[in-house]
Amino acid sequence: MPRTSKRISSYKQKKLKAQESSCHCCGKGDLPFAWRCRCGFTICQECMDENVWGMSCNGITWECPDCSAQNGFGNQ
Ligand SMILES: [Zn+2]
Ligand SMILES: [Zn+2]
């Protein structure tokens, strides 16, 4: 039993990691750094730079286009 559940969780983690590391905006994967929302939305630094005017109104927080949550720039 423990061996089976361990295998499943490591498979899950691998899959999750792959999803998390690709930008939802440009689709680029294997990002060294990316902004993430709690809903799973991921955006790379490049796309954030391009879209910051539309995603942030104060330079302190950015609004997730998927779930409209406010995410802090310094809170990663
Ligand atoms: Zn991107
Ligand atoms: Zn979100």
pLDDT tens digits along 12-30: 555 555 555 799 999 999 8
Ligand nearest to the CA of 36: 2
How far apart are the C-alpha atoms of 38 and 67, rounded to whole Å? 9
**Is the domain 2-72 a CATH 2.30.30 member?**
no
Residue 76 has pLDDT above 50, yes or no: no
Phi, psi of 58 (to 5 degrees): -135, -5
How far apart are the C-alpha atoms of 61 and 71, rounded to whole Å? 5
pTM summary value: 0.70
Distance (angstroms) between ligand 2 centre and the Cα of 71 equals: 8
Distance (angstroms) between ligand 2 centre and the Cα of 2 equals: 34
Which range among 4-18, 23-37, 47-61 shows the weakest confidence by mean pLDDT?
4-18
Mean of the pLDDT values across residues 52-75? 92
Beta strands per DSSP E along the chain: 34-36, 42-44, 61-63, 70-72
Q: Domain segments of the chain: what residues? A: 2-72
Task: State how far Cα 63 lies from the chain centre.
Answer: 13
First to last CA, the chain: 36
- pLDDT higher at 38 or 15: 38
